[in-house]
Structure 1
Amino acid sequence: MEQFMARGSISKNKGLIEHLQQYGIIKSKKVAEVMETVDRGLFVPDGSAAYIDSPMPIGYNATISAPHMHGMCLELLRNHLQPGMRALDIGSGTGYLTACFAIMVGPQGRSVGVEHIPELVASSVENIKKSAAAELMKAGSLSVHASDGRLGWPELGPYDAIHVGAAAHELPEPLVQQLKPGGRMVIPVGNIFQELKVVDKKLDGSISVHDETSVRYVPLTSSASQLHGY
């Protein structure tokens, strides 16, 4: 029965990826492969419809983004997720993108998740242990930390790729500082109206920013504000 369910979940996950390819969200073989490898069904609450293209609540007034947003962010960052590079996932939630990043940067790279709700950190570690990224966590190239994501995780920086899974009022300066020259950050910015911004740090340290698309994310805030419904 477990083997049957595992095969079923794999086929559903593959179907989701094919859907995102059909609609032009996933453009590269690399992103398709990593999203097929990391089964979304392992990273959502039990009983959730894991393979529909929709965000869903994960508790603590947090959500896991819709698969099309994960695909879009992976495509935007894929040139900065090469083997041996360093990636930072702010608001790592269930650990899904942190696991994807880890597989893309490989055992010689580092994938760091930062989440300010300790219970989500604990559950994300369990999710990752069930996934294709389990060995990378065991080897130490993937780690998840309970901390204020607005401050980043400077101990392991600078980072080639930074993803922020919650909307900031403005670009957080600590994250800009932790972005490596030549690196890229993808971050939603705004209050009621939000834009997914792509932040590129040039080799001379200067910054360029462009808007990719309009989005709707939960706020990047303190853990207390989040737990009290902002």
Structure 2
Amino acid sequence: MERIWRGSSINKNKEMVDRLQSHGVIRSQKVAEVMETIDRALFVPADTPPYVDNPMQIGYNVTISAPHMHAMCLELLENHLKPGMHALDVGSGTGYLTACFAIMVEQQGRAVGVEHIPELVESSTRNIQRSAAAELLKEGPLSVHVGDGRLGWPDFAPYDAIHVGAASPEIPPALVEQLKPGGRLVIPVGNIFQDLQVVDKNMDGSLSVRSETSVRYVPLTSREAQLRGY
């Protein structure tokens, strides 16, 4: 999906959300409210325009996705991010989407971020502590962990919603295993050519898979390969 606007003329978080709504990327009022609640400016590198519709480098060969991609993934997962549900964010990076998940599943739910770069886990924790999700982090329903996201995070499985923020050559079996029957996984799949795939786990354990759109994400890989620049 192409970026929706160019340049950095937007200077308020609500303006960004309004623009995503006006272009039909955000249709859900709940998603709009959550993206207004979690200010993107708290999750991008200092001295960068926070509301431009571009992915941004955050160090360690990692990017934060463009706002339209975050909005699309929240829309796709909304029905699996109800209060009390469990959500996993693989490759949680800055912690932005993990914080959004936490706001949606609320105090009685669980939002888990997994990132294999310890420095990003530390910085994402600081980002979240400055955001509207800070109390959820403090009290425990929201947590971010150092780990290989390809293996998921079994401690809080099964998950109603799983999001993967990097492209995998195939759907990792561990994530399918940790997905709850009735749950949904959203993951970019491919190498040079990638599709954002929506994977629904049926109640009998079988999978229904469809492609939502063509995308371009950094690879889901090992920590060592990532630091080498793949």
After TM superposition, the score normalised by the length of structure 2 is 0.95
RMSD value, Cα:
0.9
Q: Unpaired runs of 5+ in structure 1? A: 1-9
Distance in 2 between residues matched to 1:102 and 1:229, nearest whole Å: 31
Distance in 2 of aligned mates of 1:36 and 1:53: 15
- Counterpart residue number, 2:101: 101
What is aligned with 1:140? 140
Matched position secondary structure for 1:128: helix
Question: Secondary structure, in 3 states, of the residue corresponding to 2:19?
Answer: helix
Residue 3 of structure 1 corresponds to which residue in structure 2? Answer: none
State the 1:45 CA deviation: 0.6
- After TM superposition, the structure 1 = structure 2 runs for residues 90-169 of structure 1, keeping only pairs within 5 Å, are 90-169=90-169
2:28 partner letter: S
Take 2:11 and 2:61, find their aligned partners in 1: how far apart are those partners? 30
Aligned equivalent of 2:185? 185
- Check conservation: 2:11, 2:51, Cα contact below 8 A: no
SS at match of 1:88: strand
Q: Distance in 2 between matches of 1:99 and 1:193?
A: 29
**Structure 2 unpaired stretches of 5+:** 1-9
The corresponding residue for 2:6 is: none
Q: Matched residues in 2 for 1:109 and 1:228: separation? A: 36
3-state secondary structure, aligned to 1:189 = strand
Alignment of 1:200-215 (within 5 A): 200-215=200-215
- Give the Cα–Cα distance (whole angstroms) in 1 for the partners of residues 11 and 136 of structure 2: 24
Structure 1, residues 124-151: CA drift from partner, whole Å, max 9, x if none?
0000000000000011000000000000
Once the 2 structures are TM-superposed, how far is the Cα of residue 34 of structure 1 from its aligned partner?
Answer: 0.1
What count of residue pairs does the alignment treat as equivalent?
A: 221
Q: Paired residue for 1:56?
A: 56
Kept in 1: contact 2:91–2:164 (CA 8 A): yes
Show the counterpart of 1:171: 171
Instruction: Give distance in 1, aligned partners of 2:225 and 2:97.
Output: 24
Partner of 1:72: 72
What's the offset of the Cα at 1:11? 6.7
- Matched residue, 1:23: 23
Determine the C-alpha separation between the residues in 1 that align with 2:203 and 2:30: 25
Instruction: Report the 3-state secondary structure (helix = DSSP H, G, I; strand = E; otherwise coil) of the residue aligned with 1:15.
Output: helix
> Who is 2:219 aligned against?
219
Aligned to 2:5: none
**Equivalents in 1 of 2:106, 2:141: separation in Å?**
8
What SS does structure 1 have at the residue aligned with 2:12? helix
Q: Is the 8 A contact 2:167 2:188 kept in 1?
A: yes
Higher helix content, 1 or 2? 1
1: distance between equivalents of 2:97 and 2:30? 14
Structure 1 stretches of 4+ with a deviation exceeding 3 A read: none
Distance 1:173 1:47 in 2: 39
- Are 1:89 and 2:79 an aligned pair? no
User: Secondary structure at the residue paired with 1:204?
Assistant: coil
TM-score (norm 1): 0.95
How far 1:206 moved relative to its partner? Answer: 0.6
For the residues of structure 1 that align with 2:48 and 2:26, how far apart are their CA atoms? 23
How far the C-alpha of 1:100 sits from its partner, in A, is 0.1
